[in-house]
């Protein structure tokens, strides 16, 4: 029997693929390697409400390293565009993306620094980033009817496509979706409260989830009585705890019963979506 690998030498098959998948929903795993002081100073200067482990995803690390290397200006421009696209795909607002980039330029590129000299155009970089953000954001929003008019959350149609995308990525990278993604599900009891009360509670729950999940998780309204938030599997337990606490701190649900549960992804996209939708939305 072969001896186990020492911890620092143990192979990690699929780690890079897993990190790429996790950035699709905005929350990456904690940084998988040490990062320089610039990244920490950038996080502090940006004024973001996100914790460092949630903020410092792969695209962010790549951009920080591009500035630290004093390398080819084209590499910096590519990293800036990739950063803006990743943030748009994770549903970060344009103001937050711009604030992050301005903070980075102020920290990492005082006038004349590095090998770029006068070739560096911070305003041009920001303009390219905002263009990339807008293009990616428009593409994401153009997926059918994307927003539920009552709650402002994504619709079931959008969620179905999102689930397919994540399953396809898992298949391409040989990663088990059951171990990688899951969902928090909030369901209203159809038999409790009045119709008006259930409508009011649904709107309130939509606002609660939208406020709680601001790091790129896909939050959707699945019919009149069911809401769901897709996220990396490692964050589900904490999410259930936090949403339960949020609900307990509300003024009440007007006699409407509310159930909070967690669901793992299935082995295929169709089953995952059917499970998420329950009996509210057909597959």
- Is residue 160 domain-shared with residue 271, that is, in the same domain? yes
Q: In the listed set 95, 118, 141, which residue is the last one of a domain according to the structure? A: 141
- Is residue 253 domain-shared with residue 163, that is, in the same domain? yes
The pTM assigned to this predicted structure is: 0.50
From 152, 143, 180, 158, select the one nearest 273 (Cα to Cα). Answer: 158
Segment 221-237 mean pLDDT: 89
Segment 106-129 mean pLDDT: 72
- Is residue 173 domain-shared with residue 86, that is, in the same domain? no
- Is residue 55 domain-shared with residue 165, that is, in the same domain? no
Report d(CA 16, CA 270) in Å as an integer: 26
- Is residue 125 domain-shared with residue 223, that is, in the same domain? no
Give the model's confidence band at 35: pLDDT under 50 very low, under 70 low, under 90 confident, else very high: very low
Give the model's confidence band at 130: pLDDT under 50 very low, under 70 low, under 90 confident, else very high: very high
CA 163 to chain centre: 14
- Is residue 112 domain-shared with residue 215, that is, in the same domain? no
Would you say residue 219 lies in a domain? yes
- Is residue 225 domain-shared with residue 128, that is, in the same domain? no
Residue 270 has pLDDT above 70, yes or no: yes
Provide, rounded to the nearest whole percent, the portion of the chain with pLDDT above 70: 78
Would you say residue 19 lies in a domain? no
pLDDT confidence of residue 256: 84
pLDDT tens, residue by residue, 70-103: 657 788 889 999 999 888 877 788 899 999 999 9
- Is residue 182 domain-shared with residue 112, that is, in the same domain? no
Residue 238 domain boundaries: 156-277
Domain with residue 160: its CATH number is: 3.30.70.270
Would you say residue 173 lies in a domain? yes
Would you say residue 247 lies in a domain? yes
Give the model's confidence band at 272: pLDDT under 50 very low, under 70 low, under 90 confident, else very high: very high
What 167-176 contacts at long range (C-beta under 8 Å, 24+ apart), as own/partner pairs, is 167/265, 167/268, 167/269, 167/272, 168/269, 169/20, 169/21, 169/24, 170/21, 173/14, 173/17, 173/18, 173/20, 173/21, 174/14, 174/17, 175/14, 175/17, 175/18, 175/21, 176/267
- Contact assessment for residue 184 and residue 229, using Cβ atoms and an 8 Å cutoff: yes
Residue 2 has pLDDT above 80, yes or no: no
- Contact assessment for residue 132 and residue 63, using Cβ atoms and an 8 Å cutoff: no
Would you say residue 165 lies in a domain? yes
Q: In the listed set 89, 108, 141, which residue is the last one of a domain according to the structure? A: 141
Would you say residue 108 lies in a domain? yes
Question: Measured on CA atoms in the order 103, 107, 112, 113, is the torsion positive or negative?
Answer: negative
Burial 126-137 (b: 16+ CB within 10 A, else e): bebbbebbeebb
Q: In the listed set 108, 141, 174, which residue is the last one of a domain according to the structure? A: 141
Would you say residue 164 lies in a domain? yes
């Amino acid at each position: 029997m072969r001896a186990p690998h020492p911890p620092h030498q143990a192979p990690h098959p699929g780690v890079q693929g897993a990190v790429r998948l996790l950035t699709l929903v905005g929350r990456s795993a904690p940084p998988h390697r040490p990062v320089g002081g610039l990244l920490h100073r950038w996080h502090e200067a940006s004024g973001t409400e996100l914790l460092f482990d949630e903020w410092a995803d792969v695209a962010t690390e790549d951009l920080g390293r591009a500035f630290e290397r004093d390398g080819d200006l084209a590499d910096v421009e590519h990293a800036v565009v990739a950063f803006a696209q990743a943030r748009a795909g994770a549903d970060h607002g344009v103001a937050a993306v711009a604030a992050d980039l301005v903070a980075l330029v102020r920290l990492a590129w005082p006038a004349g620094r590095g090998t770029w000299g006068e070739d560096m155009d911070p305003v041009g970089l920001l303009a390219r980033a905002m263009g990339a953000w807008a293009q990616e954001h428009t593409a994401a929003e153009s997926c059918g009817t994307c927003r539920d008019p009552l709650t402002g959350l994504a619709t079931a149609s959008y969620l179905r496509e999102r689930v397919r995308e994540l399953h396809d990525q898992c298949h391409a990278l040989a990663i088990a979706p059951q171990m990688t993604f899951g969902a928090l599900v909030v369901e209203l009891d159809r038999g409790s409260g009045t119709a008006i009360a259930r409508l009011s509670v649904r709107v309130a729950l939509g606002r609660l989830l939208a406020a709680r999940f601001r790091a790129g998780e896909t939050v959707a309204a699945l019919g009149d009585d069911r809401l769901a938030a897709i996220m990396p599997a490692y964050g589900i337990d904490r999410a259930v705890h936090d949403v339960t606490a949020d609900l307990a701190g509300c003024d009440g649900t007007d006699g409407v019963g509310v159930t909070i549960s967690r669901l793992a992804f299935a082995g295929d996209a169709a089953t995952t979506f059917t499970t998420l939708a329950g009996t509210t939305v057909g597959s």
